[in-house]
A and B are shown apart, each in its own frame.
Chain A
Amino acid sequence: MLKIENLHATVGGKGILKGLDLKIGPGEIHAIMGPNGSGKSTLSYVLSGREGYEVTEGTVTYQGRDLLAMEPEERAGAGIFLAFQYPVEIPGVPNTTFLREAVNAVRKYKGEPGLDPMAFMKVLRAKIKELQVPDDLIKRAVNAGFSGGEKKRNEILQMALLDPTLAILDETDSGLDIDALKTVADGVNAMRSPDRSVLVITHYQRLLDYIVPDHVHVLAHGRIVRSGGKELARELEKTGYAAFTGEAA
């Protein structure tokens, strides 16, 4: 599904990723854990194609295609979804309009016909009921004035609507209380399927109690320094990252 080999990336001329390797198979849930500044968010932005993140070496292949050659919108069309750590507020764009544009854009990439507003509203209503998203969230402007929890719920709603094959959750737990965390985790778990992979990027083990990963990787100084099963997350919670950051240095 996703194969990252020897990935080096710089931000503003500064080397952040320094030879990262990672392979994610269909249906697998991987977690990347690491301390602040280890390159977690850089990885999510490189994978989603954000400007200003320059790949200097290495390859990323997604379903056999060169991911790095694709525009951000093409990546979304190919089934990659990034749940943002800090979802962007866009005053003036109604959330419903945004969601419909996004759904129809991705359907177009998949060769499916667009949904008219009526048909889309039907799909949207079903999803917000399923995910227990408050009604007014879709009536307001995109993320504008949303609380931290509402923004993350809106991310999960987008994920459910866009039906990706690879979901990248970037620090989705940050700023969430335990109830909101559970709701978000339920939303992700409900989407688990043999042909959908998930990459959970997190600083804390807490989220992994609710979204249980198949594989856990430790990121330090821009490289994966250790990989293991879900028990690695608990070990990290006990020992902290110090041992790993020392190991990589």
Chain B
Amino acid sequence: MSEAVAASDILETYGAGAAPPASPALPWLESLRAGARARAAAAGLPTPRQETWKYTNLRPLEKLAFGTPSPGQIGAERLPSLLPQGQSARRLVFVNGRFNAGLSACADLPEGVRAGSLAEALDGGGGFDLAGHLGRIAGGEDQAMMDLNTALMSDGFFLHVEAGVQLDQPIEAIYLGAGQAFHPRGLIIMEENSRAIVVEHHDGLGGGAYFANHGCEISIGAQAQLRHYKVQAEADDAIHLANVRVKVEAGGIYDSFVLARGARLSRNEVSVRLEAPGAECHLNGIYMLRGDQHCDNTTTVEHLAPETSSREVFKGVLDDRSRGVFQGKIVVHKDAQKSDGHQLSKVLLLSDRAEMDAKPELEIYADDVKCSHGATAGDLDPDALFYLRARGIPEASARHMLIEAFLADTINNLAAEGLCPALMASVGHWLSDAATGEAP
């Protein structure tokens, strides 16, 4: 039995270096943390005996030997920006979960936009009342890791966009990790008819193994739109877990894309509540794994109101002994007539030893809905491979071209086109690691 880090130990084991300061001035926050602390301590880490964790075992986390928490000096030139030159003016940098003002730059924010550190916002900076939002979207059962995050959170990405304000330039959130556990908490509030693009980049600083346990709550008001893009390129020995909880009001759109290629074990869990008519979400992602990497994408979409729609496409490329997991749950509630929910999981298995577990789950309680799901797994098309080789293209390059082609349409369909080249470059980076024989 793997009860090494169970029950009450959990806060101590993963709280080191991340223990939040007491906030006597904010009794609501104290009580939020206390509740989460009690639940986290009672639950311990999730195990595969729980249905939603059946395919992802956190034993590697129990055994994780943390590296050195001190990452040394970081210069701005080391920041792995995803944005094209000249667009990275707005970036918030978090080192081991804590906001680093020196590395961040957030000039010229328009009136009505607050972007910065959650810790500062909690201190009263910016004059925004957080009590009505923080911890209000997260909730429900089976969320041990979110509880752990709530219990131990002290800082993270905070964005508030007031009604009618439309931000065309992306805001970048860069998370750098080294040698310890940390629990960043994001909060994004999009008021009515506002727009924003948030780009997250997760990377390691080379300080050895670390554990990033992200939590994020997002509220999308009526007719508001958030494009939320993430590149998870954590260090090889890192563990990355993320819980994103979203609610969308009438006519609002949550558009999410996650590219995962780092970490030895990662799980990205997104839960969306489509709460009013016309609410919409797109949850897309690609993942590229090799060696012993494990990557889990778990999504839940709740259609709570009529004429809500969801679209999900996840594509994976699995090499060596890597393992991919896709769990996609769509619940269409009784009143959610004329809703549609579609989901697709496609995987390229490049090795006989790679494994993919895809579990679609549709629960439909309304009678006039359109829902579908599909899952495919296969090798590269041998006819296409031969065709390219017959034109002189060496096998390795031909394979790369076909893998890129497999992933490209997911990227090229993104609404924020400016990001596509950087995302394709990230795919290219993964492919070239294969060419140099890195990470066997």
Check if A72 sits within 8 Å of B405, measured CB to CB: no
**Of B382, B386, B387, B401, which contacts A101 at CB under 8 A?**
B401
**Of A48, A75, A92, A97, which contacts B409 at CB under 8 A?**
A92
Interface positions of B from 333 to 383, Cβ below 8 Å from A: 381-383
Check if B409 sits within 8 Å of A158, measured CB to CB: no
Question: A50 to B384, alpha carbons, bound, how many Å?
Answer: 11
Check if A105 sits within 8 Å of B406, measured CB to CB: no
Q: Count the B residues whose beta carbon is within 8 Å of the partner chain — how many?
A: 23
Interface positions of A from 78 to 108, Cβ below 8 Å from B: 82, 84, 87-88, 90-93, 97-98, 101-102, 105-106
How many A-B contacts are there with CB distance less than 8 Å? 77
Among B81-89, B303-311, B392-400, which stretch is in contact with chain A? Answer: B392-400
Check if A105 sits within 8 Å of B390, measured CB to CB: no
Interface positions of A from 101 to 119, Cβ below 8 Å from B: 101-102, 105-106, 109
Interface positions of B from 389 to 421, Cβ below 8 Å from A: 389-395, 397-398, 401-402, 404-406, 408-409
B105 interfacial by beta-carbon distance below 8 Å: no
Residues of B within 8 A of A97 (CB): 401
Question: A106 to B388, alpha carbons, bound, how many Å?
Answer: 12
B427 vs chain A, min Cβ distance (A): 12
B29 vs chain A, min Cβ distance (A): 48
Check if B384 sits within 8 Å of A88, measured CB to CB: yes
A77 interfacial by beta-carbon distance below 8 Å: yes
Check if B389 sits within 8 Å of A72, measured CB to CB: yes
Q: Size range of the interface on A?
A: 20 to 34
Check if A90 sits within 8 Å of B402, measured CB to CB: yes
Question: A46 to B408, alpha carbons, bound, how many Å?
Answer: 33
Specify the main secondary structure of chain B where it touches its partner: helix
Question: A27 to B406, alpha carbons, bound, how many Å?
Answer: 41
A105 closest partner in B (C-beta):
B392
**Of B386, B401, B409, which contacts A98 at CB under 8 A?**
B401
A51 interfacial by beta-carbon distance below 8 Å: yes
Residues of A within 8 A of B405 (CB): 90-93, 141
Check if B406 sits within 8 Å of A102, measured CB to CB: no
Question: A92 to B401, alpha carbons, bound, how many Å?
Answer: 9
Check if A101 sits within 8 Å of B390, measured CB to CB: no
Q: Mark A24-45, 1 if CB is under 8 A from B, else 0.
A: 0000000000000000000000
Check if A92 sits within 8 Å of B408, measured CB to CB: yes
Check if B392 sits within 8 Å of A106, measured CB to CB: yes
A7 interfacial by beta-carbon distance below 8 Å: no
Check if A82 sits within 8 Å of B390, measured CB to CB: yes
Check if B387 sits within 8 Å of A158, measured CB to CB: no
Residues of B within 8 A of A92 (CB): 404-406, 408-409
Residues of B within 8 A of A48 (CB): 390
Interface positions of B from 203 to 249, Cβ below 8 Å from A: none
Check if A90 sits within 8 Å of B389, measured CB to CB: no
**Of B386, B391, B408, which contacts A50 at CB under 8 A?**
B386
**Of B383, B386, B392, B398, which contacts A77 at CB under 8 A?**
B392
Contacts A90-B402, A101-B401 given; does A51 touch B386 at CB 8 Å: yes
Check if B391 sits within 8 Å of A162, measured CB to CB: yes
Contacts A92-B406, A92-B408, A93-B401 given; does A76 touch B387 at CB 8 Å: no
A231 interfacial by beta-carbon distance below 8 Å: no
A107 closest partner in B (C-beta):
B392
Check if B395 sits within 8 Å of A73, measured CB to CB: yes
Residue among A71, A77, A90, A97 with max Cβ neighbours from chain B (10 Å): A90
Residues of B within 8 A of A213 (CB): none
Question: A17 to B404, alpha carbons, bound, how many Å?
Answer: 37
Check if B391 sits within 8 Å of A87, measured CB to CB: no
Check if A102 sits within 8 Å of B393, measured CB to CB: yes
Residues of B within 8 A of A106 (CB): 391-392
**Of B382, B384, B395, which contacts A90 at CB under 8 A?**
B384
A149 interfacial by beta-carbon distance below 8 Å: no
Residues of A within 8 A of B401 (CB): 93, 97-98, 101
Q: Mark A64-76, 1 if CB is under 8 A from B, else 0.
A: 0000000111011
**Of B392, B408, B409, which contacts A76 at CB under 8 A?**
B392
Question: A73 to B381, alpha carbons, bound, how many Å?
Answer: 17
Mind listing 20 A-B residue pairs with CB under 8 Å? A48-B390, A51-B386, A71-B395, A72-B390, A73-B392, A73-B394, A76-B389, A84-B387, A88-B383, A88-B386, A88-B387, A90-B402, A92-B405, A92-B406, A92-B409, A101-B391, A101-B401, A102-B393, A105-B391, A105-B394
* Interface contacts beyond A49-B389, A101-B388: sample of 14 additional A-B pairs, CB < 8 Å, sorted by A: A48-B390, A73-B390, A75-B390, A76-B389, A84-B390, A87-B387, A88-B384, A92-B406, A101-B391, A101-B393, A105-B397, A106-B392, A158-B391, A162-B391
Q: Which 10 A-B pairs have the closest CB atoms?
A: A92-B405, A76-B392, A102-B391, A105-B392, A72-B389, A88-B387, A106-B392, A93-B405, A73-B389, A88-B383
Taking beta carbons and an 8 Å cutoff, which residues of B are in contact with A? 381-384, 386-395, 397-398, 401-402, 404-406, 408-409
